[in-house]
Amino acid sequence: MDTLVNNNTCDLHWMLSLSESKRLLSALFPDYALFGLVELPPATSLQIARTMNQVLEALQNNGHYGRVLEMELNQDKTWQKAPSGNYKESEMAKYLNKILEVVDSISAEEFKTQQ
């Protein structure tokens, strides 16, 4: 155990199941908190600017996520160009920043069209 960490840290640790993990992530980072709300004309109601599902769809259309050969239905979908094997930390940093840049551009584009 790290000297700076209390000896009882492991005893205070709790690992969630996959379904509880998904529930926690949706509650903690809901779409409205990440992408904001927009007022649609006529100004009658507020609507979430984007949903994560829409962002993922856009990433698939841009070729960041999907099958290597789109026609091969038995092939698993993967993140294209994601570093794998023994990659350098800087490669992962670049890859994550690229994904964030694309998400930013997707949500900005949506905001413009809805205005």
Interacting residue ranges for another protein, rule: CB under 8 A: 1-6, 8-18, 20-30, 32-34, 52-53, 55-56, 59, 65, 76-79, 82, 84-86, 88-90, 92-93, 96-97, 99-100, 103
CB of 72 to another protein, least distance (A): 15
| 46 contacts 38 by C-beta, under 8 angstroms | yes
C-beta of 9 vs 47, nearer to another protein: 9
CB of 64 to another protein, least distance (A): 10
Crossing angle, helix 89-114 and helix 52-61, to 10 degrees? 110
Q: How far apart are CA 82 and CA 74, in angstroms?
A: 20
